[in-house]
Amino acid sequence: MKHPDYARDLRGRGRQPPHAQWPGGARVAVQFVLNVEEGGENNPLHGDATSETFLSEIVGAQAYANRHMSMESMYEYGPRVGVWRILREFDARGLPLTIFGVVTALQRYPQLLQHFIARGDEIANHGLRWIAHQAMPAEQEREQIATATALMQTLLQQAAGSNANNDAAGGGSTIAACTGWYTGRDSPNTRRLVVEQGGYDYDSDYYGDDLPFWLQVQTGSGDGELHRVPHQVPRLVPHLVVPYALDTNDMRFVQAQGFNTGEHFFSYLRDAFDALYAEGELAPKMMSVGMHSRLLGKPGRIGSLQRFLDHIGRHERVWVCRRIDIARHWTVVHPFDPATAFVWQ
Ligand SMILES: [Zn+2]
């Protein structure tokens, strides 16, 4: 149990983190995330009080009490157009993705989910809705996580059935597993609630490291709901965190102090990769790249992705993988150790 006197771990693994021992002696594990949020965002159509304001071409958009039609159509560019442009680049190079899938977004476009599964992409759960959870009561967030988990399972079963009936998809009838979680705009309760839900190999609601790490998550506490879940007694549960990143992320195309052009995004990704590649001679790390179809899928930005994929393609010993591959590798090679895992409460 590490420094239980303070609820945060400012030290991590310190000056000498563990050697990742990536497969094939890779110097860096590059992990591309494609977020699918469109159809799960704030919209009075979905029962929300106001329209969406976040991560669109309208920086600083107002929240309207009725539908915001231009905002909606900017979101629709993602699943209608941008996603196919991005997938072409990964198809051409035979590279896998992790999909951060908002469940109500995937629900509105099951053929897209089928396509990801046929490609062999990992489907991770990005929550029931693409909304902020900071002020959500714990009991409501618990129910949303439970609903998101069950609904995702149903969608994956349906996708397997559809792919089995469609030889061209090539996905067979195997039901894809969804064992990764990322809320995004999470709350102080999120990690505990995800662990209490169970069935997840990792979550990615963390930005403070370049390597996965284990926690001991204190469950069955915090919101006075113990009487409703009698099987939940306070206990410490081993839990893996696979960190994500918001700097090497196309969301900065639409934020203040962000990337103005694809050249900015490309050079930032290249610099991050080159630094990690150099470090990786002695201390390999992981690099997360976050993508959104409605942003990076625009013609003026896609070249930055092409150039970055070409750049890493010119290097030996790079492991381009899914997030679950990193989680599985870490679980086997760097298993949970209660002596070093921080207690998360
Ligand atoms: Zn997201």
Asked if the model's pLDDT at residue 298 lies above 90, the reply is: yes
pLDDT at 302: 98
pLDDT at 176: 87
How many A from CA of 33 to the centre of ligand 1?
9
| Mean per-residue pLDDT of the chain | 93
Distance between CA 128 and CA 101 in Å, rounded? 9
Rounded average pLDDT over 230-239:
76
pLDDT at 226: 46
Give the range among 157-161, 244-248, 288-292 with minimum mean pLDDT.
157-161
Residues 6+ apart with CB under 8 A from 272: 247, 248, 287
Residue 306 · residue 101 · CB < 8 Å: no
Q: How many CB atoms lie within 10 A of CB 41?
A: 23
DSSP single-letter state for residue 203: E
Which CATH number is 23-344's, of 3.40.50.1000, 3.40.50.620, 3.20.20.370, 3.90.550.10?
3.20.20.370
How many A from CA of 183 to the centre of ligand 1?
8
Percent helix, percent strand, percent coil in the chain, to nearest 5? 40, 15, 45
Asked if the model's pLDDT at residue 171 lies above 60, the reply is: no
Distance between CA 249 and CA 201 in Å, rounded? 23
How many A from CA of 217 to the centre of ligand 1?
24
Question: Domain residue spans in the chain?
Answer: 23-344
How many A from CA of 184 to the centre of ligand 1?
6
Outline where the chain has alpha helix (H).
69-77, 83-93, 103-107, 110-119, 138-164, 190-197, 262-279, 293-296, 299-313, 323-333
Tens digit of each residue's pLDDT (9 = 90 or more) over 175-230 = 889 999 999 999 999 999 999 999 999 999 999 999 999 999 999 865 545 445 54
Percent of the chain with pLDDT over 90: 88
Asked if the model's pLDDT at residue 3 lies above 90, the reply is: no
Tens digit of each residue's pLDDT (9 = 90 or more) over 315-337 = 999 999 999 999 999 999 999 99
Rounded average pLDDT over 95-116:
98
How many A from CA of 165 to the centre of ligand 1?
31
Tens digit of each residue's pLDDT (9 = 90 or more) over 52-93 = 999 999 999 999 999 999 999 999 999 999 999 999 999 999
Tens digit of each residue's pLDDT (9 = 90 or more) over 107-149 = 999 999 999 999 999 999 999 999 999 999 999 999 999 999 9
How many A from CA of 281 to the centre of ligand 1?
32
How many A from CA of 34 to the centre of ligand 1?
8
How many A from CA of 126 to the centre of ligand 1?
7
Residue 83 · residue 116 · CB < 8 Å: no
